[in-house]
């Protein structure tokens, strides 16, 4: 049985560069706690909050993300409903945007993982082109 994976095609809100490579989103990252800079590969799969990085990223660490192309911050002023960490916002290729939590291990870290369920459903519908009931 093959599971249909919903891979989000994400773009930088500033320069429009495509940030999704395969099933991962590539972003430059700065870890607040340890002042480390590096690269983080987030899962681009809808609802997954795994990530790969060469940084030391303890559970609970907050990461500031930047576009690897134009170096602009992709952080936004709103905070995570679950843990109050700053949120990240990236544009969707299909239109609209996704926001996710910048804290490692938070469930809000999943792309589209939390938020308004109606928004999520309409997002799913747009992405899959087949309406859910």
Q: Please name the residue that has the structure tokens 């490579």.
A: 21
Give the separation between CA 86 and CA 9, rounded to whole angstroms: 22
Cβ atoms of residues 112 and 123 within 8 Å: yes
- By the 8 A CB rule, do 71 and 28 touch? yes
Q: Which stretch binds Zn ion (CB under 5 A): 27-35, 36-44, 60-68, 90-98?
A: 60-68
Return the number of other C-beta atoms located less than 10 Å from residue 50's C-beta.
11
Part in contact with Zn ion (CB under 5 A); list of ranges 52-60, 103-111, 114-122, 123-131: 103-111
Task: Tell me which of 40, 101, 110, 111 binds Zn ion, using CB under 5 A.
Answer: 101
Distance of closest approach, residue 1 Cβ to Zn ion, in angstroms: 32
Residue 4 CB, nearest distance to Zn ion (Å)? 27
- 15-54 residues in contact with Zn ion (CB under 5 A) are 15, 17
Nearby residues of 95 by Cβ (< 8 Å), 6 or more positions away: 126
CB of 83 to Zn ion, least distance (A): 3
> Six-digit token pair at 130?
């087949």
Q: Shortest gap between Cβ of 106 and Zn ion (angstroms)?
A: 3
Please calculate the CA angle 52-56-60 and round it to the nearest 5 degrees: 85
114 binds Zn ion, rule: CB under 5 A: no
Residues that bind Zn ion (CB under 5 A): 12, 14-15, 17, 67, 69-70, 80, 82-83, 85, 101, 103, 106, 108
């Amino acid at each position: 049985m093959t599971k249909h994976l919903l891979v989000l095609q994400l773009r930088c809100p500033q320069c429009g560069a495509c940030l999704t490579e395969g099933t991962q989103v590539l972003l430059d990252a700065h870890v607040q706690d340890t002042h480390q800079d590096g690269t983080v590969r987030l899962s681009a799969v809808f609802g997954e909050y795994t990530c790969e990085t060469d940084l030391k990223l303890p559970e609970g660490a907050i990461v500031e993300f930047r576009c690897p192309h134009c170096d602009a911050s992709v952080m936004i002023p709103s905070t995570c409903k679950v843990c109050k960490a700053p949120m990240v916002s990236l544009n969707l290729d299909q239109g609209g945007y996704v926001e996710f939590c910048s804290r490692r291990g938070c469930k809000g870290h999943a792309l589209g993982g939390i938020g308004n369920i109606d928004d999520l459903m309409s997002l799913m519908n747009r992405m899959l082109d087949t309406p859910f009931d």
